[in-house]
Structure 1
């Protein structure tokens, strides 16, 4: 009896934890994320930054984050934090919510990967390699990657349904066990591969930056995205600022998605185990908590950029001063 009571208390604590996380910090994070992503899009489109290919990638990244905030994160806060489930009211909303969840969850880090590759190119000691970092290549890469993931993740439009579990209790789910198994494996692979790739690219960019500190490299017109001459110091300073912004975004993403990655591995390993109702409730509660931390990278980019980049801070000041 004592053991059962302890288990019940543990599950109740988990349920209250994820409810209050989404209800209070989640609501604050939602508002701050919407404001921050909007301002980030404006900053990276300022004249001083928009000619840089990395700024184009970062603008697309924050647009993707903004879309995720007003679709998936808003729906999660309303549903988990306040019990206002709207995505199961119609089949269209159900499928749209899952479609955006699948697509944007991969699109945002993919844009970070593209930005990382751009920073690796622009910090390369080889002048020909640096010339590959162009605005035209950035636009083409963004369009191609966006279309790829939007098409690749179109499966929820056909395979997801609204299922009734009890009176007035509906969920978005699939009735195909094969599809469910495929999603499980895909989620685990994605949650391991993307953070690992981002971490590797980030370390390679750091290595290039470290090497460039001891080299004198003349700026290229193509790399700078403009025909106007600028000093070597100015060129390096601006690109190093963007490298710092990118690296902090990568660090936040990897750290915040690690709990979800670990829990996805646990679910995959234990999927064949027989679990009690209490275990299922506990797993669901922990999954909600992990997903909350997974939403953080999409909402805090603006504020971490303020901390690490003087150029970013100055441009934000200019926005509020209407300069």
Structure 2
């Protein structure tokens, strides 16, 4: 018996246990992200506002995207039973997941801007500018997401692109907006952030006072840059396979394939386009808590504040040195 017949069993185990685990941990982490980034220490920081918005959209996107996949293991999936649910679920998950990715890109841009030696570039990192962008991003994606919805339909009990040219166009669109553009943007601004950090470390004055203070990059700012750089690498790792898979599908759509090859490609499509891509939504909190001491301290303060409210006792809240 060909080993490919076991791929469906592997897929079920990945969905039932793997996705269930990261849905639970992702929800916990994203809720704690939101609790931390509305903390006064972060509330006026432009990068924190982007991460807060990304966490909110990521929370919605994770549940809209991943929960129906797990639910469908033992129940009838409304997404594959109704054209309305097929298109509405895709519209919702695509909109919110793209909002999350776009907010994260702007968080990277903000960290690049604030670490720049150029005054005009640093001026991008302002509260008013951030609020304007925060408002515009949802409008942009809620409108643009109408286009790919029109290319989807129910075909043979599957919610997918319409046969022929619409399916190819949809694959190209997804590979561009989910893969190519975010990946290139994150790589570019990740490299620019690293370059600016290197320049900042080199600008140490004879008095021993680093220009980190001169240019406003305090401990929390530097921690945020590290957090975003690690998250960027994780995003590239979890998203690049999807782009490759989609490009391959579009290029080989008219090629006749055997049963084993079809099973393998279906599993790859599931792993790259469902398991890995939604796994990315659940990572941010766990990356931040491992990378940043200031983030761990703020998490501790959130718990202390909650205990203070419940117990009715005054507790000393620890603060982080800014240098």
The structural deviation recorded for 1:321 is 1.8
Give the distance between the partners of 1:254 and 1:125, measured in 2 at CA. 27
Q: Residue in 1 aligned with 2:165? A: 178
- 1:209 has 2:197 as partner: yes
Task: Map 1:12-161 to 2 at 5 A.
Answer: 12-79=5-72, 81-82=73-74, 84-155=76-147, 158-161=150-153
Whether the 8 Å contact between 2:5 and 2:263 is mirrored in structure 1 is: no
Give the distance between the partners of 1:187 and 1:174, measured in 2 at CA. 11
Whether the 8 Å contact between 2:227 and 2:291 is mirrored in structure 1 is: yes
Q: Residue in 1 aligned with 2:176? A: 189
Q: Secondary structure at the match of 1:24?
A: helix
The structural deviation recorded for 1:100 is 2.0
- 1:262 has 2:278 as partner: no
**Residue-pair matches, total:** 297
Give the distance between the partners of 1:182 and 1:263, measured in 2 at CA. 14
Deviation per CA, 1:53-108: give whole Å up to 9, x if none.
000000011111101112011112222x4454132343332211111233234322
Give the distance between the partners of 2:75 and 2:264, measured in 1 at CA. 18
Match for residue 288 of structure 1 among 238, 255, 270: 270
Q: Secondary structure at the match of 2:62?
A: helix
Unaligned runs of 5+ in 2: 206-212, 306-316, 318-323
Give the distance between the partners of 1:319 and 1:45, measured in 2 at CA. 10
Q: Secondary structure at the match of 1:199?
A: helix
Q: Normalising by structure 2, report the TM-score.
A: 0.85
Give the distance between the partners of 1:216 and 1:54, measured in 2 at CA. 25
Higher mean C-alpha deviation, range 178-187 or range 44-53: 178-187
Whether the 8 Å contact between 2:62 and 2:281 is mirrored in structure 1 is: yes
Cα 1:173–1:296 shift into 2, 3 Å: closer
Give the distance between the partners of 1:320 and 1:84, measured in 2 at CA. 40
Whether the 8 Å contact between 2:23 and 2:282 is mirrored in structure 1 is: yes
Whether the 8 Å contact between 1:95 and 1:156 is mirrored in structure 2 is: no
Cα 1:158–1:195 shift into 2, 3 Å: closer
Whether the 8 Å contact between 1:106 and 1:149 is mirrored in structure 2 is: yes
- 1:273 has 2:255 as partner: yes
Q: Residue in 2 aligned with 1:228? A: none
Give the distance between the partners of 2:237 and 2:68, measured in 1 at CA. 24
Whether the 8 Å contact between 1:60 and 1:142 is mirrored in structure 2 is: yes
Q: Residue in 1 aligned with 2:295? A: 312
The structural deviation recorded for 1:138 is 0.9
Deviation per CA, 1:276-323: give whole Å up to 9, x if none.
233222211121122312222200110110011111101111112226
The structural deviation recorded for 1:135 is 1.2
Whether the 8 Å contact between 2:47 and 2:107 is mirrored in structure 1 is: yes
Give the distance between the partners of 1:78 and 1:126, measured in 2 at CA. 51
Whether the 8 Å contact between 2:172 and 2:246 is mirrored in structure 1 is: no
Deviation per CA, 1:229-258: give whole Å up to 9, x if none.
xx6598521211111111111111111112
The structural deviation recorded for 1:24 is 0.3
